[in-house]
Homo-oligomer: A and B are copies of this chain.
């Protein structure tokens, strides 16, 4: 193994000088910087990560905490992870993969053993047990899917409120005057899960502002329930020509039911979905996508800012992008 001492000897300088060349923490003359750089190249020197972590108390590793349980949309998680790793590497960081099912103990472990410099936690819920632990650990952290109480923490998320509004605006521009909304199961709204409400709020406000007639209903997962709620909507909102769906689990069923009721999609009822892109792609629906890649990149950038002592805003909301697939 090539150590910093070998490099120093080869370049005819002290080990500390090599270190300063590498870290840039003290000025080094252009001449020696070059000589040292050359020796590093020649010897193929790579600093020992453990030694660095021990001496410098900095690991250059981020923990990425992912929900790997069933029920989350795996491709989105994967895309997010991919984007995180790529962006982390641009900042010369590596990524340690931690699963959410280790829970708060997992965070304690990787922080306590000094394995990572900071945390990226995906799929944070309201009253998540990990939030207080993250505060207690005091390491920089960025949360995705923001919990209500975010004081001191940094959160990133899609701007669901804007997403709800964006759907309305899009449809109004296409000439629709009566718009339905199918949301998550009722229980989700009951337990105040943030993103569901925010979408609905954005939708309602925009409908109000635009002066369009609208009705919003929750949609349960089961087939019959979907059929029923679609029926209700068509009855209640008789002149409905457009529908916003914020419920990826039943999206396919909704379209199916509409067609079963004799409505062509999108000719009779224009459907706009708020869901992962590939699902909308598959069903050929206009959609507001969840930008997993941008989310990942931004999350890493915020975390890096915190690691560098900056204080990024507590909440970053990404503007929604609507993809029209009516053509």
Binding site for B on A (CB under 8 A): 44, 46-54, 59, 61, 64, 68, 74-75, 77-79, 81-82, 85-86, 89, 94-99, 101-102, 109-110, 112-115
Kindly provide the distance from the CB of A15 to the nearest chain B CB, expressed in whole angstroms: 15
Q: Give the docked Cα–Cα distance between A308 and B229 (Å).
A: 59
Contact B78 A114 (CB under 8 A): no
Bound: A80/B85 CA distance, A: 17
A54 to B47, CA, bound (A): 11
Q: Which residues of B contact A77 (CB under 8 A)?
A: 78
Name the B residues within 8 Å of A64 (CB-CB).
97
CB of A284 to closest CB in B, whole Å: 14
The count of identical subunits is 2
* A50 CB contact (under 8 Å) in B53, B74, B75: B53
- Are B85 and A98 touching (Cβ within 8 A)? yes
Pick 7 A–B contacts, CB within 8 A, sort by A.
Answer: A61-B96, A61-B115, A64-B97, A68-B78, A74-B79, A86-B101, A96-B97
Complex CA–CA separation, A86 to B69 (angstroms)? 11
Across the two chains, which residue of chain B brings its CB closest to A62?
A: B97
Write the nearest CB–CB distance from A248 to chain B, whole angstroms: 14
By the criterion CB–CB under 8 Å, are A81 and B94 in contact? no
Known pairs A49-B53, A61-B96, A74-B74; list 19 more (Cβ under 8 Å).
A44-B112, A48-B54, A49-B59, A49-B113, A50-B51, A50-B53, A50-B114, A54-B54, A61-B115, A68-B81, A74-B75, A75-B75, A78-B78, A81-B97, A94-B97, A94-B98, A95-B96, A96-B97, A97-B97
Contacts of A52 in B (CB 8 A): 50
Q: Is the CB–CB distance between A49 and B115 below 8 Å?
A: yes
**Min distance, Cβ A5 to any Cβ of chain B, angstroms:** 14
Q: How far is the CA of A101 from the CA of B86 in the complex (A)?
A: 9
What separation, in Å, do the CA atoms of A74 and B113 have in the docked complex? 31
A-B CB proximity, top 3 nearest: A50-B53, A68-B82, A46-B112
Report yes or no: B96 in contact with A96, Cβ–Cβ below 8 A: yes
Q: How far is the CB of A249 from the nearest CB of chain B, in Å?
A: 13
Q: How far is the CB of A91 from chain B (nearest CB, A)?
A: 14
Closest to A85 in B: B99
- Shortest A3–chain B CB gap in Å is 11
How long is the Cα–Cα vector from A86 to B101 in the complex, in angstroms?
9
Q: Complex: how many Å from CA A254 to CA B288?
A: 31
* Residue of B whose beta carbon sits closest to that of A89: B102
B94 pairs with A95, CB closer than 8 A: no
Across-interface contacts of A81 in B (CB, < 8 A): 68, 97
Nearest CB on B from A59, distance (A): 7
